[in-house]
Amino acid sequence: MSRFLSEVHDPRALDPEAPDPGRGPLGVLLINLGTPDAPTPAAVRRYLGEFLSDPRVVELPAALWQVILRLFVLTRRPAAVAPKYAQVWLDRGSPLLVHSQDLADAVAASLRDRGLDVRVGLAMRYGRPVLADALDALRAAGCGRILAVPMYPQYAASTTATAVDAVNAHLARLRHQPTLRFLDRFPTADAYVDALHRAVRAHWDQAGKPDRLLLSFHGLPQQSVRQGDPYFRDCHQTARALRARLGADGDRLHVAFQSRFGAAPWLQPYTQPTLESWGREGVGTVDLMCPGFLADCLETLEEIDMGCREAFLKAGGRAFRYIPCLNADPDWARDFAALIADNLAGWT
C-alpha cells in the first residue's frame, strides 16, 4: 500500500511539463515464428510445447488436443526432430534466428541511413527472443509509436494473426500503451517481388535456367481457407506477380505446398509428391525456392534442400537446385527497409 501511495503522490507524475513518452524514437518490431534454443530433444520439446499449444496453430478443442500433444506428440516428436535441427544448426545458432537477426540489423542500418530515428527489435512468436521482452525494450528506449512487422509476406491466421494477438495481449496489460501499427502482409509488394526476381535471375545467370521452377509455400489445412483464411490467395498472388516479372520464363513457374502435419487434407499440390511425379515424368532440372520464408530454417534447409532433393533424384530427376531465402541479402534489406519506412508515413 505504501508503494502505491508513493506512486500516486510522485510529483513527477503530476508535472504538466514532463516529457511526452510518445514523441521519442519510432519502434519497429520484426516478428518471426520461432526456434528451439538448441538442437536437443529437451529444447525442441519446450519449443513445440509452446508452438503447438497455440489455438491459432492447432484448431482442435484444447481439452482433446492437449491430451494428444502431451501423451503422444511431445513424447515422440522431439527426439525425431532434434537430429534434423542438428543437421542445419550454424555456429551462431539456429538458422532462423541468425538470418532474422542479421536482417533486423541490416534494416536498422538502412533506416538510419535514411535519417530516421528508429529502433529495430526482433522477436519470436514462440521461444526467444521473447516477444514481450522485445516490446518492453522498445518502450524502454522511448518508443511511443511502434510498427509491428510479422515476417510473413502472405497472411495466415496461424502465423500473422497469432503474432498480432500476442502483441495486443501484452500491450493490454499496460496503463500507457504505445501507438501501434501492423504491416500484416505484403504478397505483391514491389520490394518483395523484385527481391525474389533478383534471386531467381542471379541464380540462373550463374547456373543456367531449369526445366521448371517450383515455388514451395508452407502448407495450411484446407479447412482454414474454407473458413476465410486468405493465405491460399496470397500465395498465388505472389506467384502471379513473380511470373509476370519473369516474362517469357514465367511458364517455368509452378506452385506447391510443403510441411503437411496431421491426417486432414492440406493445400495442394503437395511439394514432395509433385517433385517425385516430375522425376518419374523425366523432368531433368528443377529449381526450388520458398517465398513464404524470409529466413532459411528447418523447413527450407532440411525438409526441402535435403529431403525433397533426395526424393526428386531418387524418382529419376537429374538436378535439384535450391535457391536460398532472401535472408539478409543487402539489396533486399534495403528494399525491406523502404517498405517499412512507407508504413511509418505520418510518424516520420
pLDDT at 7 exceeding the cut of 50: no
Residue 322 one-letter amino acid: Y
Structural domains of the chain, ranges and CATH numbers in brackets: 21-186+331-342 (3.40.50.1400), 190-322 (3.40.50.1400)
Q: What is the pLDDT of residue 17?
A: 60
Q: What is the mean pLDDT of the chain?
A: 94
Q: What is the mean pLDDT of residues 297-306?
A: 98
The annotation places the binding site at: 218, 299
pLDDT in tens, 196-208: 999 999 999 999 9
**Cell 532433393 maps to which residue?**
309
pLDDT at 60 exceeding the cut of 70: yes
Q: Could you tell me the pLDDT band of residue 294, with boundaries at 50, 70 and 90?
A: very high
pLDDT at 131 exceeding the cut of 70: yes
pLDDT in tens, 209-263: 999 999 999 999 999 999 999 999 999 999 999 999 999 999 999 999 999 888 8
Question: Which pTM value belongs to this model?
Answer: 0.93
Q: What is the pLDDT of residue 262?
A: 80
The annotation places the binding site for Fe(2+) at: 218, 299
